[in-house]
């Protein structure tokens, strides 16, 4: 894949109840200039994705906004919306990408990931991630009724709230994990979200960009062109 101008967003954490976030999302989708050649959503578009059987009027509205765009849309899963979403993607006319994906913008190699896989010091989470990404388990999960899925999600959120506080260090990306991806992909620009430490961090041989999480009064997208990398 090769482009000259792209937009990236992540960590919107949209849900039916998040009225302002939904409005912001629809507003942004309504004013992406024609000059953009692709939109990349780098995970956690939704605060929780239970599966295609959850598709209702709300999920259809979000899908329609993406479908209406003039440019192709790509979705890379986050830690909250990794479950299969084939039907929803079809409604959104959006293509799913693997957990790590590289493209070219002009002559620069740009690598995308959600970012949770970089927090390797959070050993408990990495173990959970490994389990929840197993296809057989996801297949099984798809078979249970939506009401039970919602109960499981609620229980899951409650138990993670109860957990004793973990130091910030655990949630920070680990330098060696970043270096490994950069080496593996040989990229010029690494773009991810998840850790909510927005910024453009130039290094010797590459630039790392961390996308912001969306808040009701603050949201941003990233633009990458041949000449510039800018958050706006
Ligand atoms: Mn995340």
Q: How far apart are CA 40 and CA 192, in angstroms?
A: 11
pLDDT value at position 166? 61
pLDDT value at position 147? 86
pLDDT value at position 193? 96
Enter the pTM of the model.
0.91
Instruction: Indicate the number of domains in the chain.
Output: 1
229 in Cβ contact with 191 (< 8 Å): no
The whole domain housing 25 covers 2-231
- Ligand 1 centroid to 26 CA: how many Å? 21
Q: How far apart are CA 112 and CA 104, in angstroms?
A: 11
Q: What angle do CA 175, 182, 8 make, to 5 degrees?
A: 100
191 in Cβ contact with 209 (< 8 Å): yes
- Ligand 1 centroid to 192 CA: how many Å? 10
Domain containing residue 159: CATH number = 3.60.21.10
- Ligand 1 centroid to 3 CA: how many Å? 26
pLDDT value at position 6? 98
Tens digit of pLDDT at every position of the chain (232 positions): 999 999 999 999 999 999 999 999 999 999 999 999 999 999 999 999 999 999 999 999 999 999 999 999 999 999 999 999 999 999 999 999 999 999 999 999 999 999 999 988 888 888 888 888 888 888 888 888 888 888 877 777 666 555 555 666 667 788 999 999 999 999 999 999 999 889 999 999 999 999 999 999 899 999 999 999 999 8
User: Around ion ligand 1, which residues have CB less than 5 A away?
Assistant: 44, 78-79, 194
183 by Cβ neighbours in 10 Å (0-12 / 13-18 / 19+) ranks as: exposed
pLDDT value at position 157? 65
pLDDT value at position 59? 98
């Amino acid at each position: 894949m090769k482009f000259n101008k792209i937009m990236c967003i992540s960590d919107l954490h949209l849900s039916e109840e998040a009225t302002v976030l939904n409005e912001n999302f629809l507003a942004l989708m309504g004013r992406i200039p024609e000059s953009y050649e692709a939109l990349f959503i780098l995970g956690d578009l939704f605060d929780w994705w239970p599966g295609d059987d959850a598709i209702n009027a709300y999920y259809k509205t979000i899908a329609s906004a993406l479908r209406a765009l003039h440019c192709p849309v790509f979705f890379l899963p986050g830690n909250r919306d990794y479950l299969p979403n084939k039907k929803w993607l079809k409604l959104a006319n959006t293509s799913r990408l693997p957990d790590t994906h590289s493209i070219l913008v002009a002559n620069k190699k740009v690598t995308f990931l959600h970012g949770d896989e970089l927090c390797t010091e959070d050993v408990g989470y990495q173990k959970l991630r490994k389990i929840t990404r197993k296809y057989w388990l996801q297949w099984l999960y798809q078979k249970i009724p939506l009401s039970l899925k919602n109960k499981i999600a609620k229980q899951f959120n409650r138990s993670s709230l109860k957990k004793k506080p973990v130091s910030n260090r655990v949630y920070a990306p680990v330098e060696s994990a970043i270096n490994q991806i950069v080496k593996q992909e040989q990229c010029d620009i690494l773009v991810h979200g998840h850790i909510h430490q927005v910024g453009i961090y130039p290094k010797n041989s590459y630039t790392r960009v961390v996308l912001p999480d969306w808040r009701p009064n603050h949201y941003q997208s990233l633009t990458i062109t041949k000449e510039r990398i800018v958050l706006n």
